[in-house]
Every structure is written in C-alpha cells, then in structure tokens.
Structure 1
C-alpha cells in the first residue's frame, strides 16, 4: 500500500477518483507520511503537469486546501 501511495497518479481528468484513493490510502496507513507538508508533496506529485504548477505555487496550508485548489483548477 505504501508503494501505491507514493506512486499514485491521476489518470486522465479523473480528479475525484484520484482524491478518493489518495484519502483512502492516507486513512489506511496514517503513519506513512510524517507531516502535512510531506502529505501535500505526495498529493501534488500525483497531479498532471497541467495543474501541478498552479497547486504548488498556491498558498495552501493543509492537504485539504491543496485538494480544493486542484478541484477548482480542474473545473
């Protein structure tokens, strides 16, 4: 599961499925990622290039904010 978590990527435009699986893996293995900053790095790392830069540049403070920003960019 840890390998899947660190290599999870968004397929096509299906952000909803990516976020759902990311959150499932985060819940199943809460000790995999030591802090929220690393959690955001892992989440952003799986995003497509088309939105990755904008989410990285945003002033997000939590993984939830990074997810919300990605959702707004995809819409």
Structure 2
C-alpha cells in the first residue's frame, strides 16, 4: 500500500509520539535557555528539540529568533545584528565572556 510521506509521518507520530510527550517537549523547548557558558550544550539541545517539535521553529526566521532568545542577554545584543552566523558568533562571544569573567 503506497501512502504519501506526510500521511505515513502523521500515522507514525500518532502511534509512537503521544500528545502528552509532545506537550512536555514543547514546554521544555519554550523554556530552553543557555546556562552560563554552556553554548555547546544549549546548541545541541536546541537542535534535538527543533527536530522533535519542528512546528515551533518553522519558518527559519522563527528558528533564529528562538535560538537567539535563549542566549544570555550579554550575547543576544551582539548576535541580533548578525543572524546568519548566530550559532557560531554566540559560541565565540560566550567563550569570550566566560574568559573575561562576565559570564559564569
């Protein structure tokens, strides 16, 4: 039986991804923020959750806003002007602030 991919995806989601678990992941993603200087851990978890609850990061502009919104305030201001390089720039800035002692 041939089914379109969207239908297969929908059926599998209903079977193996209960709604209460989706709600938990959405709540975690909504509250996701970078703690201190852990930019790699934040970026990794952001990517994991964005795959699981992809509707929360579609379109790309929403994804970028969510990523930047979870960064520390010291980093957000600088990153906002350079969206295409947000992940790389935020990691560099976080490392710099940790080394300078302005972010723990």
Give the match for residue 19 of structure 1. 43
Gaps of 5+ in 1: none
How far apart, in 2, do the equivalents of 1:14 and 1:39 lie?
19
How far apart, in 2, do the equivalents of 1:32 and 1:48 lie?
21
Gaps of 5+ in 2: 1-24, 96-104
How far apart, in 1, do the equivalents of 2:40 and 2:57 lie?
21
Root mean square deviation, CA, Å:
1.2
Deviation string, structure 1 residues 27-72 (Cα, Å, up to 9, x no partner): 11222222111111111111001111000122x23xxx21111112
Give the match for residue 87 of structure 2. 67
How far apart, in 2, do the equivalents of 1:33 and 1:10 lie?
17
Matches within 5 A, 1:3-14: 3-14=27-38
Whether the 8 Å contact between 2:56 and 2:62 is mirrored in structure 1 is no
Task: Give the structure with higher Rg (CA).
Answer: 2
Give the match for residue 54 of structure 2. 30
